[in-house]
Amino acid sequence: MIVLECLFLTIALCDAAEPWQLGSQDAATPMMQGIMDLHHDIFFFLILILVFVLRILVRALWHFHYQKNPIPQRIVHGTTIEILWTIFPSLIPMFIAIPSFSLLYSMDEVVVDPAITIKAIGHQWYRTYEYSDYNSSDEESLTFDSYMIPEDDLELGQLRLLEVDNRVVVPAKTHLRFLVTSADVLHSWAVPSLGVKCDAVPGRLNQISIFVQREGVYYGQCSEICGTNHAFMRAPGNIGRLLSPLWLSRTTGVRATR
């Protein structure tokens, strides 16, 4: 049993921050996977550059020590080496810029016909979510508030300072659109596993497109300092398989059933 638990913990997906965590949370969208791949590729070449520079530095310190070379050589100019260390460092940012701009422009792409549109409104210090596609005939929209659950009210298995009373429920493997705005001050709607970080500006609508590849519970936060309780603005959401049938409730939020 202990072996199975250890095996499960090693292969379990990391959709929330963990103690002493190194690196990013597991990617749940193609966007976040691209961000992680770009980070790993750049980090690999950074290690190569670091090893190369350290080798040159150690070699210079070793071979040009005052005991080995009591009479230093007077080298005042080297055209070849100056050309090389000017060209190669300028080529490195060019190779980094190509995938960076490609990823950056793909983040700005907007889905023309999303399956669901959700509006996230930031408040001090909670969020209001509105499912705009399910407005009733009397112009009333499906809206609910999402507050962080205090530590004293947490149930067994819930994460401290991450859980909210009403989660956002959306389907997996479906194109989603989020409209982000604010009702008072600057906020930011960010979910690390989804590779999403969108500023909530009062009087302005920002939109982002998301395609979640797997089911799970993803935890987010406000990434813009918005006041005293900035640290307690969370944005967890459930990702289900299907929204058929869809059951809408004004008291408990939105739930998806298979």
pLDDT at 237 over 70: no
pLDDT-based confidence at residue 8 (cuts at 50, 70, 90): very low
pLDDT in tens, 55-99: 989 988 888 777 777 777 777 777 888 888 889 888 888 888 888
User: Residue 86 is which amino acid?
Assistant: T
C-alpha–C-alpha distance, residues 239 and 196, integer Å: 15
Structural domains of the chain sorted by starting position, each given as residue range(s) with its CATH number in brackets: 30-64+80-108 (no CATH), 116-152+161-252 (2.60.40.420)
pLDDT in tens, 193-232: 888 888 899 989 998 888 888 888 888 888 888 888 888 8
The alpha carbon of residue 155 and the mean position of all alpha carbons in its chain are separated, in whole angstroms, by 27
Mean pLDDT of 141-157: 85
pLDDT in tens, 11-69: 445 677 777 878 888 888 888 888 899 999 899 989 998 999 999 899 888 887 777 77
pLDDT in tens, 174-188: 888 999 999 888 999
| Residue 2 or residue 245, greater confidence | 2
Q: Is 146 helix (H, G, I), strand (E, B) or coil?
A: strand
Write down the pLDDT at residue 136: 62
The residue behind tokens 């289900």 is: 240
Q: pTM of this prediction?
A: 0.73
The alpha carbon of residue 3 and the mean position of all alpha carbons in its chain are separated, in whole angstroms, by 32
